[in-house]
């Protein structure tokens, strides 16, 4: 890391914490529904959100309802479907254009012949976006990419993005960086220093946004990244969330004056 988030000051900045979901808060699983939620995860997150005065949000490719189901009973601020959906900290929803929702439904229908021919493929329709998973059939990656490219030629309002064993159609103008910036303009995020933790290439926009706003991106795992910091694995993310929650309670100087 070239620069410390805490350098030049004895006091902790007021932090806002943003995390990705799959591969960051939970380990990657064979299918989207198979992710395992550690028994203490919701409690850990709940505690951190309180200590961060609720400046804690999830920014994910999943639809919001999925994350709510996995993290029940928590109802966090969430940007879902790569930012196409967004629930603010006050619980209000940013509404996505109906035409974009209809466009995503059409794209999902257009993929069906491919998934009928290859039942190992999985379509995940979401409000305003669509994922085509090939984790059960890695050899079909290029066929999936080509099929979606052809379908998106008729849907210029969408672009193709690539994740972990998945191709997705995401509406143009939406990404995780834009979602992070939108949260940062609202309470309780306003005026805080953003930290974004993610593991995938779709997280790069959010790393850059966090850093442009004076914060830091933390990349989980290997690979080229714009993030200035790295973290090893999901267990370390849980430990970091616990640790940051503890630190945010300190109002005394970070380093005690130990000069003799």
Ligand X SMILES: O=P(O)(O)OC[C@H]1O[C@H](O[C@H]2O[C@H](CO)[C@@H](O)[C@H](O)[C@H]2O)[C@H](O)[C@@H](O)[C@@H]1O
User: Under the rule (CB under 6 A), what is the footprint of ligand X?
Assistant: 20-23, 28-32, 35, 60-62, 124, 131, 133, 135, 163-166, 168, 200, 202
Per the listing, tokens 């994922």 go with 131
| Beta strands in 190-243, from DSSP E residues, in sequence order | 193-198, 216-220, 229-231
Strand partners, 229: 218
To ligand X, the closest distance from the beta carbon of 93 in angstroms equals 19
The yes-or-no answer on residue 20 being catalytic is yes
Instruction: Check the CA dihedral 228-230-236-237 and report its sign.
Output: positive
To ligand X, the closest distance from the beta carbon of 11 in angstroms equals 32
To ligand X, the closest distance from the beta carbon of 89 in angstroms equals 19
The answer to whether 20 and 53 are in contact (CB under 8 A) is no
Smaller CB separation from ligand X, 167 or 189: 167
Tokens of 159: 């672009």
- From the candidates 20, 66, 200, 203, give the one annotated as an active-site residue: 20
The answer to whether 35 and 22 are in contact (CB under 8 A) is yes
* b/e 198-210 (16+ beta carbons within 10 angstroms → b): bbbebbbbbbbbb
To ligand X, the closest distance from the beta carbon of 104 in angstroms equals 12
Closest residue to ligand X, Cβ-based?
61
Smaller CB separation from ligand X, 14 or 135: 135
Smaller CB separation from ligand X, 162 or 187: 162
Smaller CB separation from ligand X, 32 or 221: 32
Distance CA 40, CA 252 (A): 29
Distance CA 203, CA 214 (A): 17
Catalogue the active-site residues.
20
């Amino acid at each position: 890391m070239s620069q410390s988030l805490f350098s030049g000051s004895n006091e902790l900045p007021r932090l806002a914490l943003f995390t990705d979901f799959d591969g960051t808060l939970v380990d990657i699983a064979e299918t989207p529904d198979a992710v395992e939620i550690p028994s203490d995860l919701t409690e850990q997150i709940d505690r951190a959100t309180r200590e961060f005065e609720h400046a804690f949000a999830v920014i994910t490719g999943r639809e919001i309802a999925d994350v709510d189901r996995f993290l029940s009973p928590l109802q966090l601020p969430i940007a879902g479907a790569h930012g196409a959906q967004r629930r603010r900290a006050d619980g209000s929803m940013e509404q996505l254009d109906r035409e974009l929702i209809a466009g995503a439904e059409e794209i999902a229908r257009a993929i069906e012949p491919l998934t009928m021919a290859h039942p190992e493929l999985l379509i995940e329709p979401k409000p305003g976006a669509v994922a085509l998973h090939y984790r059960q059939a890695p050899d079909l990656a290029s066929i999936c990419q080509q099929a979606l490219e052809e379908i998106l030629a008729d849907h210029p309002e969408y672009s193709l993005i690539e994740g972990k064993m998945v191709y997705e159609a995401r509406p143009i103008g939406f990404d995780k960086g834009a979602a992070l910036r939108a949260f940062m303009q609202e309470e309780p995020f306003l005026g805080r220093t953003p930290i974004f933790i993610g593991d995938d290439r779709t997280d790069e926009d959010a790393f850059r946004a966090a850093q442009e706003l004076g914060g830091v991106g933390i990349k989980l795992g290997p690979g080229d990244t714009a993030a200035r910091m790295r973290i090893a694995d999901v267990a370390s993310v849980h430990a970091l969330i616990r640790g940051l929650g503890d630190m945010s309670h300190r109002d005394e100087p970070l380093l005690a004056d130990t000069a003799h």
